[in-house]
Structure 1
């Protein structure tokens, strides 16, 4: 039997392996994600509620939904989604992230299925989900289209994918590379490669080629005065997020 090809980039995985133990330190190397997380969750929960007609005022509004968190890291998104009632599977290609996520979920009293695997292997195994969360991963893979195609295969007909990444332009180089890695030192130097960043139009095209229908995109905008993030319909110049759906006839 032919081995299943992976889009995992070993050099990218090594970067995150080295930082695994710091996932839950809000002032550590993942400080930017801790700061961004409330904004990410606002978008994700709003899109899921709209697509599946769920009431976010209920205690466990996502009960009955199976959700995949690709590139789950230490579980910063998996845990709040589990608290909202979703059945969560968190996967990561960086093996050292998984025991960190498992230990924190156990401490938090949460039942989350964490696995050391890839989107491609899960798709080959026939796994299916209502929602795929694909956050800040696509800029780290070797073949974005092959990766997004695997994500599409992981969705049930009518399923929803949330995919965020970084725009590629001079501003994103200044903010995401020079600012975040060299000036603020929020991330280790070399965490991101600017030439792997993807413009919103390119991502919409890739999502369409993978078999998805893009339906929304918004920017994550950092305000240095309030030291916080907000969603923007207009400013997608650095960080941004998209929503796409899989045809119910698929």
Structure 2
């Protein structure tokens, strides 16, 4: 637990994007397009896991959420609007500063923290780490810490690129190559196939309950799919 999960180069890279993080046409434009898809999956899993009313506008009222690798708050803010008491942590102080400023302007009370998730002491009903595990020093050690922050009856949701020729082509060769994603954002060697991530979760006493792909098509754009080749989300609970 004493080892850091943070790679300084990754924190510096993402910190450099803080200035226009909330610009839907800026350097983080792809995250803005990805976010509604991720939120759809999260809401679906929340309703199923906690037995919530799918029409409830504040389904997380009375529940706590921890968003790991929160950036400047693209996920943390919707979770707060859903009624959760949100703690959000990121390795880049610049992103946390941007997150605090944006949340303040929106009138949202979110506990933003810069640094290690290991320093967070509480446990949470919902823990999310979206597009994070491929950017850490040791995925196994990172996942162990992540799971330790989950309440016994809580829900964990992860997302990450699959390690396939298609993900390399679309995410790195095309998206980074054409500037749609900032160059250097991804390292294909760090990508994790879903079966490997499911094994890692099982080793930490977690049961994957749903795995869905995020696919792309010219007609639908980014959307939830049974096709896991590009990117995928996993929901898991304690065994």
Matches within 5 A, 1:1-250: 4-122=2-120, 126-183=121-178, 185-226=179-220, 228-233=221-226, 235-247=227-239
Is the partner of 1:96 in helix, strand or coil? helix
CA distance in 2, matches of 1:146, 1:201: 18
Unaligned runs of 5+ in 1: none
Q: Name the count of aligned residue pairs.
A: 239
- Please say if residues 145 and 209 of structure 1, whose CA atoms lie closer than 8 Å, have aligned partners that are also in contact: no
Displacement of 1:101 after TM fit? 0.4
Displacement of 1:7 after TM fit? 1.4
Displacement of 1:246 after TM fit? 1.6
Displacement of 1:232 after TM fit? 0.9
Displacement of 1:147 after TM fit? 0.4
Displacement of 1:225 after TM fit? 3.1
- Please say if residues 216 and 244 of structure 1, whose CA atoms lie closer than 8 Å, have aligned partners that are also in contact: yes
- Describe the superposition over 1:42-92 as per-residue Cα deviations: whole angstroms up to 9, x where unpaired: 001110111111113123111011000001111001111111111111110
Q: Give the TM-score normalised by the residue count of structure 1.
A: 0.93
Q: Give the TM-score normalised by the residue count of structure 2.
A: 0.97
CA distance in 1, matches of 2:124, 2:193: 27
Displacement of 1:121 after TM fit? 2.0
Is the partner of 1:63 in helix, strand or coil? coil
